[in-house]
Amino acid sequence: MLKAAIFDLDGTLTTSDAIHLQIWKQIFKSNGLAIDDAFFEENISGRQNDDIIAEYFPHLNAAERHQFGEDKEAIFFKLAAGQLKPLPGLFDLLDWIRVNQLKLALVTNAPRPTALFMLKALGLADAFDPIVIAGELPRAKPDPMAYRQALRRLEIKASQAVVFEDSPAGIQAALGADIPTVGLTTTHSAASLLKRGVSLAIDDFTDGRLLEHLGLFGQPQLEVPVCQERSSASVSPTLVPVW
C-alpha cells in the first residue's frame, strides 16, 4: 500500500535548471572554461554544489569551496525571485495526496536556505515533512543515503513510497534506496529516464497516466479534486489548501 510520496525540488516541483545552467556557464567562463547544455545535463544537473566545485575546481580549499557555493546561491536568489512557478498539475496532485492521506516528503541536494526560499516562492513553505537536505548528510545524491533517511523519518518501507525525480543523480539515489521512481522530463528525455530505470516518465503532473500508475501501488483510485491550476505569484503560502 502506498503511504508516502517523496519529491525532489529542482526540475521536479519547478523548472529552475535553466537558471542554474545560466549561472554555471558564467562561473566556468569566468574561470577560463566553457560548458554546453549537454555537459550541464550529464555532469552538473541535480548534483550538490560542494561535489561539483570539488570536482571541477580542485585547487580551492574547503573554506573557498564553501564561499564559492554561497556566492553561487546568492546569484540564484536574485535571478529566481519572481520567476519560479510550479510544474503544471502539481497542486492537483498534492490535493490527491492529501485526500488519500499520504505522507509527503522532500529530498533535495539544494542547500537548506535555497530549498526553503524556493518552497516559499512556490507557496509550499509548510507542505513537506520531513525535508531532507542531502548536503547535511555524509553523502549527497547520487548516493541513496538521503532517500534512506527520508524512509526512516517517514517510518515506512521503500515499497510503500514513490519518488518523483528528474535528474540522473536523483534517480540513481532513489533507485539505490529501492524506491519506485517516476521521472519528470524537465531536464532529460523520456527515453533517457526510462533507460535509467524509472517506472514512468512524464512531462508534468497533468499526465493522464499518473494516477493510474500510482494505483498500481495499491492506492485507491480517486478523482483529483476539481480546482484551477494555481500560480506561485498569486498564491500565498498560508492559503495553499494542502496541509
Q: Which domains does the chain have, with CATH numbers?
A: 4-15+85-215 (3.40.50.1000), 17-80 (1.10.150)
- Distances in Å between the alpha carbon of 138 and those of 44, 87, 157, 219? 19, 30, 22, 34
For 152-183, give one letter per residue: b (16+ CB within 10 A) or e.
eebebebebbbbbbbbbbbbbbbbbbebbbbb
pLDDT digits (tens, 9 = 90+) for 105-143: 999 999 999 999 999 999 999 999 999 999 999 999 999
Annotated catalytic residue within 10, 17, 51, 143: 10
In this structure, are residues 243 and 104 in contact, taking their beta carbons and an 8 Å threshold? Answer: yes
10 an active-site residue? Answer: yes
Predicted confidence at residue 41, as pLDDT, reads: 85
Cα(168)–Cα(47) distance, integer angstroms: 9
User: How high is the mean pLDDT of the chain?
Assistant: 88
**Radius of gyration of the chain measured on its C-alpha atoms:** 17
50 an active-site residue? Answer: no
Predicted confidence at residue 218, as pLDDT, reads: 66
Sign of CA dihedral 33, 37, 43, 44: positive
pLDDT digits (tens, 9 = 90+) for 148-163: 999 999 999 999 999 9
pLDDT digits (tens, 9 = 90+) for 11-65: 999 988 889 899 999 999 999 999 999 999 889 987 889 999 999 999 999 999 9
Query: In this predicted structure, which of 44-48, 168-172, 185-189, 233-237 has the lowest mean pLDDT?
Result: 233-237
Annotated catalytic residue within 8, 17, 92, 166: 8
Residues in CB range of 100: below 8 A, 6 or more apart: 2, 219, 220, 222
Tell if the pTM clears 0.75, that is, is over it: yes
